A and B are shown apart, each in its own frame.
Chain A
Amino acid sequence: MTFDCSVAVIAGGLSFEREVSLRSGQRVADALRERGYRVSELDADHRLVETLGTGEFDVAFLALHGRFGEDGTVASILELLGIPYTGSSFEASRLAFDKLAAKSVLRRASLSVPSAIPLTEGALRELGVGALLDRAMDELGLPIVVKPNRGGSALGIRLVERPDQLPAALMAAFGYDDTVLLEQHVQGTELALAVVDGLPTLPAVEIRPKEGWYDFSARYTHGAADFRVPANLDQATADQCLKAAHAAHLALGCRDISRVDAILDPTGTCQILEVNTGPGLTSTSLVPMAADAAGLTFTDLAAHLTDRATARRPR
């Protein structure tokens, strides 16, 4: 691709995943520079629009995670400015970021998703929905996962095994969004399924428990799990999961790159937890890990995504 291409790598911002995003952005910028692109690193702050408006950028690489980034906010700005960008459109990002809305789309596409009951802060505070919490737990069956409807990583997520743990879990989740999901907890093999348009299918990554002490909270502590690429699945099962991930990516209208988080349940069904349109791109993030296992360097991956976006530039 052209080496006289000026790329704005956008990272950071006010998201709670700012730190990870800055690491992703740094890595992308290093990779693209190595490949000969002209790269500027931009923080997604109040100066962003002004900087992008200078007209010096041919394309933007979005290395944003979480709110004000992965939720389509920055994509919408780039649409207005007419700058092509990597990854999903505003609409698709917004849809995927809203776990509840995404669930209905995926279900309509005949994909399996864990059942969930939404709860808004307003309904709790103003309408007395608290009285129905026991019914919600009965319906889903304990344990359940309580998570913010919008928000990335595992921030604000708690596992509730006993009814008396629910109020504190709800308080924690409402810290991140005014809508919270009570979600059925699915046991099984945890998978991260990378979907990158324009590349052959990448292998599934299996998130492996550390023997003996792996629990829910450990899952969300950095460095508390090992990953196995490709996942320890027979070929047919792996293909089925990857196919489901690809179908989810398409159903939500995603573009270029997604990481589909899923659990292969004991019945052999691939249950899709969420689709991330702004997956981590740090040195040990899961999509680069899958690419690496397929023989694709991080520089190749970053350049591939940049070039796909550049090709969308109006001529």
Chain B
Amino acid sequence: MAVSFKVMRADDPFRDRYARGTRSMTASEIRALFAVASRPEIVSLAGGMPFTAALPFDVVGNVLEEVVANEGPAALQYAGGQGDPRLREVLTELMRHEGIRGSGGDVVVTEGSQQALDLISRMFCDPGDVIVAEGPSYVGALSAFSQYQVEVCHVPLDDDGLDPDALAATLERLERDGRRVKFLYTVPNFHNPAGVTLAADRRERVLELARKHHVLVLEDNPYGMLGFESDPPDALRALDPDNVVYLGSLSKVFCPGLRIGWALVPPALRERMVLVKEAADLCSSSFTQAVAYRWFADYPWRETLKDLRELYRGRRDVMLDALAEDVPAGVTWTKPTGGFYVWVRLPDHLDARAMLAKAITARVAYVPGGAFYADGQGASCLRLSYCFPPPDRIREGVRRLASVVDEELALARALGGLPAEAPDPDHGRPAGWGGVQ
């Protein structure tokens, strides 16, 4: 048979042409597992999807109709890059709940706060720069940062959030080493993934440290209005308007499908941020901005939010009760007072990533803790979400997880405990986690 000679590339003929910032975005074992985790047979405690089915769809339908009827041509037209001025005013009203007195003129509307993370990184980060973030930290932020080839330096948190002493030590060390820290990224309220809230007395200290080291603070607050017992302390931005970029989002207090987030920036940053936003996508959707504006200006959104809070609180209770009931000794977890997540710590010698295949075979999914670190930490941790599955599924999911942990502990005991080190084909790929929120 006549055969022509060819050298071919596996899977990807463009591989050697990609920009450096996206090279780490490879397929991974974990991605393959998540492809199965989305099947309905599996109780997914992995994704952080808001429970949009609880929204009053008749009312939402009215809003959509109103927008088309009353402002159709404008709502279907391009808009200004900074965002709909009416919406920006409404967003400043929302931020008053967190003690922020900002101007709509300093708000930039973005495609979810995820885009704001990207734009801020693009504005500030060069390859080799450092971003300081909590450890663990939001996986989507780590993905956004990784595109700019920065080094993320984690500072541990505890039940009261980011540890200021550890932050001080880290900032001093980085300064001594001559590293350029571009900003401190923090989720102070109902943290993703840890579920904890930065205590009021720590907030001032964190801001002081940032000012002392000339580090901008990037405050990401998608869950702040989802407190179950009480509202969180005032936002960092409320305490230091000149050195904090505040990121807000309608994804959790209304719905993520509109893709509306925003940045409230110090006035000095506004113009540059708008230019960067326009370069990225000209403007956010006029239509969804108009819908969001009307929802928050004319409709009883507070009632909907109260219903959502009640719903999530109930699910949180179910998850915490189930964990207390089912999970074997030696496993610990955080007790969130708001938001979507519980952070679980397994005994040190268990590896949550290695355990995931077994969990999915047992029909339950979670996110292994390593996803929330840029540096390979978090192996024995995992994140559980209670926001989406109904209570009976949460209970069942935790029960399944508990028996997997039991089995894994028995196996680890039989192997006489585990050394931490093993070749890990997925290490250092924060971008390969398959769209985990």
List residues of A whose CB falls within 8 A of some B CB: 14-20, 45-46, 121, 124-125, 128-130, 153, 155-156, 158-159, 161, 164-165, 167-172, 174-176, 200-201, 203, 208, 216-217, 220-230, 282, 284, 289, 292-295
Q: List the 8 shortest-distance A-B pairs measured between CB atoms, nearest first.
A: A168-B422, A175-B357, A217-B425, A19-B35, A167-B415, A172-B354, A223-B12, A222-B27
Q: Which residue of chain B is the closest to A172 with respect to CB atoms?
A: B354
Complex Cα gap A97–B11 (Å): 24
CB atoms of A227 and B354 under 8 A apart: no
Assembled-state Cα–Cα distance A129/B422 (Å): 21
Cα of A159 to Cα of B422 in the assembled complex, Å = 9
Please name all residues of chain A whose beta carbon is closer than 8 Å to the beta carbon of B302 when the two chains form the complex: none
A and B contact pairs by CB, cutoff 8 A, 12 listed: A16-B32, A17-B32, A125-B410, A128-B414, A129-B414, A175-B357, A176-B357, A201-B1, A208-B7, A223-B11, A223-B26, A284-B11
Q: Which of A124, A130, A175 contacts B355 (CB 8 A)?
A: A175
Q: Are A125 and B411 in contact (CB under 8 A)?
A: yes
Q: Which residues of the other chain, B, contact A18 by a CB distance below 8 angstroms?
A: 32, 35-36, 39
What residues on B are CB-neighbors of A16 within 8 Å? 32-33, 36, 357, 360
Q: Separation in Å of the A293 CB from the closest CB of chain B?
A: 6
Quick one: which of B13, B29, B39, B419 contacts A164, CB cutoff 8 A?
B419
A168 and B419: CB pair below 8 A? yes
Tell me, rounded to whole Å, the shortest Cβ–Cβ distance linking A285 to chain B. Answer: 9
Residues on the B chain within 8 Å of A203, using CB: 3
Most B C-beta atoms less than 10 A away, residue of A155, A201, A222: A222
Residue of A nearest to B38 (CB): A18
Of the candidates A164, A223, A293, the one whose C-beta lies within 8 Å of that of B421 is A164
* Complex: A229 Cα to B9 Cα, angstroms: 11
A230 vs B4: C-alpha distance in the bound complex, in angstroms? 8
Question: Contact check: which of A124, A174, A222 meets B26 at CB < 8 Å?
Answer: A222
A43 to chain B: closest residue by CB: B39
B6 on the A face (CB < 8 A): yes
Complex-state Cα separation, A45 to B26, whole angstroms: 28
B39:A14 contact, CB within 8 angstroms? yes
Q: Give the chain B neighbours of A200 by CB distance below 8 A.
A: 1
Q: Cβ of B10: which chain A residues have Cβ within 8 Å of it?
A: 222-227, 284
Residues of A within 8 A of B351 (CB): 168, 171-172
**Cβ B8 vs Cβ A226 within 8 A:** yes
* Chain B positions 83 through 99: 1 when the CB is less than 8 Å from some CB of chain A, otherwise 0: 00000000000000000
Give the residues in chain B near A167, CB-CB below 8 Å. 412, 415-419
A155 to chain B, nearest CB (A): 6
Is B303 part of the contact surface with A, judged by Cβ < 8 Å? no
B358 close to A (CB within 8 Å): yes
Which chain A positions have C-beta within 8 A of B12?
222-223, 284
Which of these, A19, A223, A227, contacts B7 with CB under 8 Å?
A227
- Check A125/B414 contact, CB under 8 A, given A222-B26, A223-B12: yes
Shortest CB distance A38–B (Å): 27
Distance in Å from the Cβ of B422 to the closest Cβ of chain A? Answer: 3
Q: Is B177 an interface residue (CB 8 A)?
A: no
**Cβ of A208: which chain B residues have Cβ within 8 Å of it?**
7
CA A15 to CA B37, docked complex, whole Å: 10
B8 engages A289 (CB within 8 Å):
yes
Contact present for A221 and B39 (CB under 8 Å): no
**Contact, CB under 8 Å: B422 / A158:** yes
A-B Cβ contacts below 8 A, count: 151
Q: How far, in whole Å, are A175 and B351 apart by their CA atoms in the complex? A: 11
Nearest-neighbour CB distance to chain A for B351, whole angstroms, equals: 6
Interface residue tally on B, bucketed by range? 35 or more
Residue of A nearest to B353 (CB): A172
Contact pick for A175, options B354, B419, B420, CB 8 Å: B354
**A14: B residues at CB distance < 8 A:** 36, 39, 41
Bound: A45/B418 CA distance, A: 37
Find out whether the CB atom of B418 lies under 8 angstroms from the CB atom of A168.
yes
CB distance from A118 to the nearest CB of B (A): 16
- Please report the C-alpha to C-alpha distance between residue A292 and residue B41 in the assembled complex, in whole angstroms: 38
Measured CB to CB, the nearest residue on chain B to A21 is: B35
Do A171 and B354 have beta carbons less than 8 Å apart?
Answer: yes
User: Closest CB-CB distance, A37 to chain B, in whole Å?
Assistant: 27
Enumerate chain A residues within 8 angstroms of B28, measured Cβ to Cβ: 221
For the complex with contacts A19-B32, A230-B5, 11 further pairs of A-B residues with Cβ separation under 8 Å are A156-B29, A158-B423, A167-B412, A167-B415, A171-B354, A171-B355, A175-B358, A176-B357, A221-B425, A223-B10, A223-B11
* B423 CB → nearest A CB, Å: 6
Asked if A284 and B418 make an inter-chain contact with CB atoms under 8 angstroms apart, the answer reads no
240-286 of chain B: CB within 8 A of chain A:
none
Q: Which residues of A contact B27 (CB under 8 A)?
A: 221-222
In the assembled complex, the CB of B433 is this many whole angstroms from the nearest CB of chain A, namely 14
Q: How far is the CB of B15 from chain A (nearest CB, A)?
A: 5
**Bound-complex Cα distance A14 to B410 (A):** 26
CB within 8 Å for A124 and B423 given contacts A155-B29, A167-B418, A200-B1:
no
CB contacts under 8 Å to A, within B25-73, are 26-29, 31-33, 35-36, 39, 41
Interface hub of B27, B417, B425 (most chain A Cβ within 10 A): B425
Q: Are B414 and A124 in contact (CB under 8 A)?
A: yes
Contact B9 A226 (CB under 8 A): yes
Question: Is B408 in contact with A294, judged by CB distance below 8 angstroms?
Answer: no
Cβ–Cβ contact B32 & A156, under 8 A: no
B206 → chain A closest CB, angstroms: 37
Take A15-B36, A18-B36 as given contacts and tell me if A229 and B425 are in contact as well, using a CB distance cutoff of 8 Å.
Answer: no
User: Chain B's nearest CB lies how many Å from the CB of A25?
Assistant: 13
Closest approach, in angstroms, between the C-beta of B426 and any C-beta of chain A?
A: 8
Residues of B within 8 A of A169 (CB): 422-423
B412 touches A223 (CB 8 A): no
Q: Roughly how many angstroms separate A229 CA and B422 CA in the complex, as a whole number?
A: 34
Q: Which of B331-380 contact A (CB under 8 A)?
A: 350-351, 354-358, 360-361
Measured in the bound complex, the distance between the Cα atoms of B7 and A27 in whole Å is 22
Return chain B residues, CB-CB under 8 Å to A282: 11
CA–CA, A295 and B2, complex, Å: 8
A230–B422 Cα gap in the complex (Å)?
Answer: 35
Report the bound CA distance from A295 to B267 in whole Å.
Answer: 64
**Closest Cβ of chain B: how far from A247's Cβ, in Å?**
20
- Most chain A beta carbons < 10 A, residue from B5, B350, B411: B411
**Which residues does chain B contribute within 8 Å of A223, judged by CB atoms?**
9-12, 15, 26
Task: Assess the B7–A172 pair: CB atoms within 8 A.
Answer: no
Query: Could you tell me the distance in whole angstroms from the C-beta of B21 to the nearest C-beta in chain A?
Result: 16
Chain A residue with the shortest CB-CB distance to B33? A16
In the assembled complex, the CB of B383 is this many whole angstroms from the nearest CB of chain A, namely 18
Partner pick for B415 among A19, A153, A156, A171, CB 8 A cutoff: A171
Shortest CB distance B97–A (Å): 42
Contact of B411 (CB < 8 Å), options: A20, A121, A155: A121
